[in-house]
Structure formats: C-alpha cells, structure tokens
C-alpha cells in the first residue's frame, strides 16, 4: 500500500506525547507533516519511526529537545548525506546500517531523528542493529531495553528496500535516518510494482 511517511511520523509523535512529557523531553517536527508517500506497510513503518523516537527519548537528558525531520523526496546519496545543520561541531561518524539495492533514479522519503543525548563511540555503531546488542556502559537499570528495537528497524527497512544510517559521537548526540522508496504517482512513467521481499505478502 501507500503510506504517508510524514503523517505516520507526526502520528507517532502524538502517540508518544505522554511518554515524552513524563521524561520532560520536547519533540519538534520540522518540515512537512503530510505528503511523503512511500510504498509499504503502515504498521511496520510506524514501528520504525516509533523505535527511533523511543530511543531518542530514552537516551535524552531531561529538558532536552529531539528534532524530527521528514524529507519528502531525496536520492540515495542525499538520504545518506548529512543534513544541513549537520553534526553539531563535527567529529561525528556517519555509517550506513542498511543500504538498499541501487536502482538508478529511485527516489526516497527519509525520516531523521536527532537527539542531544550521550551519543555513541564509533566502535559501537556497526553492531547497533544486532539482536540484543546494547552499548556498554549505558546503565540498564535506568534505561531498560532488550536491544531489539534497531534489529526490528533493520528488518523492516530491508523488507521495504529502504535504508538506515546513523551519525554519532560521544557527547554529540545521535542522529538516525530511515528512508523508503517513494511511491510514484499513479500511472507515472517509471512507477513499479512493489512487493514485500518477505512475510505475509509473498
Ligand atoms: P529495546 O529497543 O529493545 O527496548 P534498546 O533500546 O536497548 O532496547 P535498540 O533500540 O536496538 O535497543 O538499541 C540498541 C542500543 O543502541 C541501545 O541499547 C543503546 O545502547 C544504543 N542506542 C540506540 N539509540 C541510541 C541513541 N539515540 N542514543 C544513544 N544510544 C543509543
Ligand atoms: Mg530501543
């Protein structure tokens, strides 16, 4: 089906408002709040955005601001490039965690979640999407989790032939970007059939 990534994202922000208020964290969505149609399963795409925002809330100190941006149309290169306003002082490492098959001309809608929390050292970044992986030294008592969120994100993004990047450094917060193939307007030249590569639609 067709899913509006921007609307799904603003819905997630509404849905977590109790949690973010409890943690005294403010979520600010920049850019359009509707109008980024992608191919896929709405519940799964919501799960991707939800996991990224959950992490940003969980790892943000009280009183912090989390920025969320949906870019309605980017190329693969743009989707994995630093956004303007970039990595706050430099020194952050950007790493692709999921890279889609390259199809020339394919365009994506991207959602980026940026926090100002503790960030992560470069050495941890490649393993973030492993099941049960949690970064050492982050107190599990205060920030409980199973280490499955980003593994699920990777799985869903893969199924949608999308991508995922992370950009972070210790003390510089974390920025995650997930992107999905844009749904071409109905009947437009170059529009393709979308099929899930796994799961219930195969
Ligand atoms: P779960 O999502 O299953 O509740 P989790 O949040 O620990 O548990 P993931 O979402 O998979 O698991 O994240 C894996 C690890 O990556 C986290 O335990 C944490 O160490 C690190 N991490 C993820 N997002 C951030 C972030 N925004 N800032 C700092 N560290 C992060
Ligand atoms: Mg998580």
SS3 93: strand
Atom of ligand 1 nearest to the CA of 134: 18
Atom of ligand 1 nearest to the CA of 151: 11
The reply to whether ligand 1 has any atom less than 6 angstroms from the CB of 167 is: no
pLDDT tens digits for 162-174? 999 999 999 999 9
SS3 70: strand
Write down the pTM of the prediction.
Answer: 0.89
The reply to whether ligand 1 has any atom less than 6 angstroms from the CB of 116 is: no
CA distances from 15 to 27, 119, 174 (A): 12, 25, 22
Which pLDDT score, from 0 to 100, does residue 185 have?
57
Q: Give the environment of ion ligand 2: residues with CB less than 5 A.
A: 55, 149
pLDDT tens digits for 44-60? 999 999 999 999 999 99
């Amino acid at each position: 089906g067709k899913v509006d990534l921007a609307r799904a994202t603003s819905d997630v922000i509404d849905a977590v408002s109790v949690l973010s208020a409890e943690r005294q964290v403010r979520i600010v969505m920049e850019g359009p709040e509707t109008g980024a149609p992608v191919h896929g399963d709405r519940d799964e795409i919501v799960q991707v955005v939800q996991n990224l925002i959950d992490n940003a809330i969980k790892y943000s100190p009280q009183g912090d601001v989390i920025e969320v941006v949906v870019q309605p149309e980017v190329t693969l290169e743009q989707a994995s490039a630093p956004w303007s306003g970039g990595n706050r002082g430099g020194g952050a490492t950007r790493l692709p965690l999921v890279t889609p098959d390259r199809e020339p001309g394919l365009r994506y809608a991207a959602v980026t979640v940026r926090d100002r929390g503790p960030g992560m050292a470069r050495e941890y970044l490649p393993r973030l999407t492993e099941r049960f992986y949690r970064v050492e030294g982050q107190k599990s008592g205060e920030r409980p989790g199973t280490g499955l969120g980003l593994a699920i994100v990777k799985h869903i993004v893969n199924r949608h032939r999308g991508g995922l990047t992370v950009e972070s450094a210790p003390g510089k917060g974390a920025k995650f970007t997930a992107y999905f193939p844009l749904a071409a307007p109905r009947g437009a030249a170059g529009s393709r059939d979308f099929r899930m590569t796994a799961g219930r639609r195969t």
